[in-house]
Amino acid sequence: MLFILGLGIYAQAHVSAEVQSIIEHADHVYYLLNDDNAKAWINERNSNTTDLSIYYKPNINRRHIYTAIVQHVIDHLVPDEQVCMVFYGHPSVFVDPGLEMVRQARAKGIPAKLLPAISADACLYADLEFDPSISGCQMYEASDFLHRDLRWDVTANLILWQIGVVNHATSSEDEVDSSGIRLLVQKLLQSYQPDHEVTIYEAAFRIFQQPRIEHIPLKELDRARLTSISTLHIPPQV
């Protein structure tokens, strides 16, 4: 049995009782995490673990890295063992390998299950204090939004993920591309007023850490400080 798990955004503080139990009783635990404390937490609960961040190499396309990670787990699956793969956040939100592992495991005749976890959008709704069901909510990966011919509703909330790495989302380097951000702003200004207030959001990673919530006019977005984890929230324009 293969379980695909997520630790949430606050790692240990967000982990569900079900996920913790599976980690503790698994025959082997694979993980891909960005927090050393989360890695230590897993290693304290299971002695048979493998850190798959070893596949991250400079100047390697991220899709190639994901393919190698999926192949590693699938190649080591044993039908009568309980194995889990643990990711940061939610295991199917911006986590291509999780869904691919489920598909490939089932193709080999091995049962696979993906469990829910707290994701960045759940944190965003709470930290920005809005209900996505009111006015509606649309969300896109920033590079995908930039390059596709989309029709979106400006009277609904719009969330753009990974704006800091627009045009670099498949790179293993978290490089901010200012030219891509300028193109993104130009596209948005075709539908929104220049002074329409938008929010740069970055979820907190630890319990007592504060999230980054920066409100700015849309026209100033290309001059703002952005990182690889920056998300853009654009509220409805009325």
Catalytic center residues: 62, 66, 88
Kindly list the distances between the CA atom of residue 140 and the CA atoms of 47, 113, 159, 228, in Å, as whole numbers in the listed order.
38, 25, 6, 15
112-114 β-sheet, strand order:
49-51, 28-32, 83-87, 2-6, 112-114
Tokens representing 132 are 């996505």
Cα separation, 176 vs 149, in Å, equals: 23
Cα separation, 41 vs 7, in Å, equals: 11
Contacts of 64 (CB under 8 A, 6+ apart): none
**Phi, psi (deg, nearest 5) at residue 95:** -135, 75
**One-letter amino acid of 86:** V
Cα separation, 138 vs 234, in Å, equals: 10
197-202 β-sheet, strand order:
137-141, 157-161, 231-234, 197-202, 212-217
